[in-house]
Amino acid sequence: MNITKLIIPAAGIGSRFLPITKSIPKEMLPLSNKPAIEYIVQEAYDAQIKHVGIILSPEKNVIKEYFQSNTHLDKILAEKNQEYRVASINNLIESINFSYYYQYNPAGLADALLQAQNFIEPEEFFAVALPDDIIFDSSPEILNLMHIAQTYKAMVIAVQEIPAEHISSYGVIAIDQQINDHCYKIASLVEKPAQQDAPSNLAIVGRYIFHHDLFSYIPKTSLTTSTEVLLPDTINLMIQQGYSVYACKVKGQRFDTGTPQGWLNYMLNHSNF
């Protein structure tokens, strides 16, 4: 199994950051001197993934522009001997093959992934990373999941132990079998359970390895009352049909930058930048 592609869903409206996200995509909010989405692309590059598909809404083309060369800026910086200021982003631009897809109506993560179906070949496994979750470790977190996927020839979801009082804010796994201290075979997923109903304290965080078959199961998944397909429901449907799905504990330090408080926690922890 050779995983060479990563999808980044970035089409949400960023409602928790309004009003700033009226004009600036949440994924472009600065974390130190880089936007959140650049950390995800860097993680893909560090995992030797060279094909990145980004799912946008029509109002978010600034993300597309960010991952394009700016020859005028490069010329000015060269004249000042300051090319180092954009060296890291220019390396990503030169090294990664970017593709873009559009979600025109905000219908959730499963629907967003469906827009990038043509990016993935039949029978291909691929990675997904959410820009809300920034994870720092000596090894790229998505690479850790890739190793599990390659070992078991199966889909993999990143999880993290969460305090009981916060568990109702997450999707949570029910464990079928514990493989080792960091890896589990999943029996099912439960979306935002009440604290007393949570099947474990292992919450889903924004890193996944999926198989192309996911795209065929999304339309088969029952809608919720909000007329939105929930990705955990699709994964449950696949498990019921005999697909194996594993969970891998996040090894690095994770920041939930998809909320103002999480964004602030990141900035406070990186105040030296």
Sign of the CA dihedral 118, 56, 159, 216? negative
> With a cut of 50, which residues of the chain have pLDDT below it?
273
pLDDT of amino acid 222: 86
Q: How far apart are CA 254 and CA 46, in angstroms?
A: 17
Every domain of the chain and the residues it spans: 5-269
**Stated pTM of the model:** 0.93
pLDDT of amino acid 173: 96
pLDDT of amino acid 90: 97
Tens of pLDDT, residues 198-234: 999 999 999 999 999 999 999 999 887 677 889 999 9
Q: How far apart are CA 271 and CA 273, in angstroms?
A: 5
Return the CATH fold of 5-269: Spore Coat Polysaccharide Biosynthesis Protein SpsA; Chain A (3.90.550)
Tens of pLDDT, residues 112-128: 999 999 999 999 999 99
pLDDT of amino acid 273: 44
pLDDT of amino acid 271: 55
pLDDT of amino acid 272: 52
